[in-house]
Structure 1
Amino acid sequence: MSNPVLRNGLILAVFAMLCTAAVSVVNKVTEGKIAEQKQLQRLKVLEQIIPMQIHDNNLVTSCRAIVEPKALGTEDAVSAFVAFKKEQATAIAIEAVAPDGYNGNIKLIVAADKSGKVLGVRTLEQNETPGLGDKIELSKSDWVNSFNGKSLRNTSTKQWKVKKDGGEFDQFTGATITPRAYVKAVHKALNYIHSNFDMIVRQSQKCGDHHE
């Protein structure tokens, strides 16, 4: 090619195409690794809140997409994981959002058995004040374990509040808004599981059908 301008332009075009292709490949690989890491992290959390002895299925793949803004605190679809033992549903872990945390949304997950008893609760995402509101993290405090064993039968609606509001759950020194919002979200999620257990189990929309 005798025209140096055209030659240089062609070289740049080819180089740009190669760079675009390389970036695309890297993104694909990275997305796969991120998804895999997220699945492993999710499985780790589920194994903490749903005892091995009450299920024999893969909890991560036994996932339903649920949209219930009033009960679960978000307009977006959340994931509900169903535990089975010998093909019988034994427990459900469902994600929820406390929209009224001190620093915004707090994402959590609540597991309850078929009788409506809380098996475990964990914080998934939060932006609460370090040293105060972040005690909702198990790594900072065992406060989330105070929900274990609670149910709608052994804990009245009035008791599903922090002690400052006349309930039975501790608040944090210097931080009442965070635990107040958290207790409210757990209570609402537990109510939803208890009232809709069979419906959640039968839910046909799987988690892969929505964007998380």
Structure 2
Amino acid sequence: MSARYSATRTALRTGAIMVVFTLVFTALMAATHRVTQPAIEASAQDAQRRLIDEVLPPGSYDNDLLADVVRFGPAPQIGMDEGGRVWRARKGGEPVALIAEGAATDGYSGRIALLVAVNTNGLLSGVRVTQHKETPGLGDYIDPKKDRRKDMPWIGQFAIATWKDVNTAAWTVRKDGGTFGYRTGATISARAVVRAAGRSTAFVVERMDALFAAPSGGVLGE
């Protein structure tokens, strides 16, 4: 048996082993994905539900809020260049509130993602920061989980704000002549969140009827 033949047979055998290994590995990965995907999706839904419960009392609506969702297209005015989602809360079939995604693009360390809940009367039910990179121990108090004032989190002040009673210019921190408080030494983070919350609230209020009327799972304006 020539050395060339032996080398060819070895290469073919090695290639076949690699093919079998790849097929087995792919099958195992696919099976693992099928088994774990439902749990992953359920976990993601639970996380969404907990976050929504922080901005809107669960007893204030009776529909399947996670299933009653509509998307909106690109909205750079609220920091959502690629569009976002709005969850619709209803009780007895009647509109109660909208929970919308928004963002500040001028945080101290970049983009700050928000969730804003607005009742049909224009009253803010709550605001939560869902993603940020603000300085730990300084600007991260915008996130209630990081806020050292557990008795009175900074973000809680939005629950008493009404869009109809606060003009656009007042949706900033008191240092800038606005309505909302901030923590000394970390004004930029608070200013970014307050202004973004104001813009997002205005976006929702101005489109409230259309957002409630849009088909579930659809995109506003299409």
Among candidates 69, 72, 77, match of residue 78 of structure 2: 72
Among candidates 119, 140, 156, match of residue 167 of structure 2: 156
Instruction: Indicate if the aligned counterparts of 1:132 and 1:173 stay in contact, CA closer than 8 A.
Output: no
Instruction: Indicate if the aligned counterparts of 1:152 and 1:191 stay in contact, CA closer than 8 A.
Output: yes
2:201 maps to amino acid: L
Q: 1:153 is paired with a residue of what secondary structure?
A: helix
Among candidates 48, 58, 80, match of residue 52 of structure 1: 58
Q: 1:58 is paired with a residue of what secondary structure?
A: coil
Q: For residue 26 of structure 1, report the CA deviation from its aligned partner.
A: 3.0
1: CA distance, partners of 2:19 / 2:59: 60
- The answer for the alignment partner of 2:150 in structure 1 is none
Q: For residue 44 of structure 1, report the CA deviation from its aligned partner.
A: 0.6
Matches within 5 A, 1:1-212: 3-141=9-147, 142-204=153-215, 206=217
Mean Cα displacement is larger for which, 45-54 or 35-44? 45-54
Deviations 1:77-135 (A, max 9, x none): 21101001111111000010111111111111000110110001111111100011110
1: CA distance, partners of 2:32 / 2:82: 29
Instruction: Indicate if the aligned counterparts of 1:46 and 1:59 stay in contact, CA closer than 8 A.
Output: no
Instruction: Indicate if the aligned counterparts of 2:118 and 2:124 stay in contact, CA closer than 8 A.
Output: yes
Mean Cα displacement is larger for which, 2-11 or 31-40? 2-11
Percent identity, aligned pairs only, is 31
RMSD: 2.0
Instruction: Indicate if the aligned counterparts of 2:124 and 2:163 stay in contact, CA closer than 8 A.
Output: no
List structure 1 runs of 4+ shifted beyond 6 angstroms: none
User: Could you say which structure has the larger radius of gyration?
Assistant: 2
Deviations 1:173-212 (A, max 9, x none): 21111111101110011111111111111223617x8xxx
Q: For structure 2, which runs of at least 5 residues remain unmatched after alignment?
A: 1-5, 148-152
2: CA distance, partners of 1:74 / 1:139: 24
Q: 1:6 is paired with a residue of what secondary structure?
A: helix
Q: If the length of structure 1 is used for normalisation, what is the TM-score?
A: 0.89
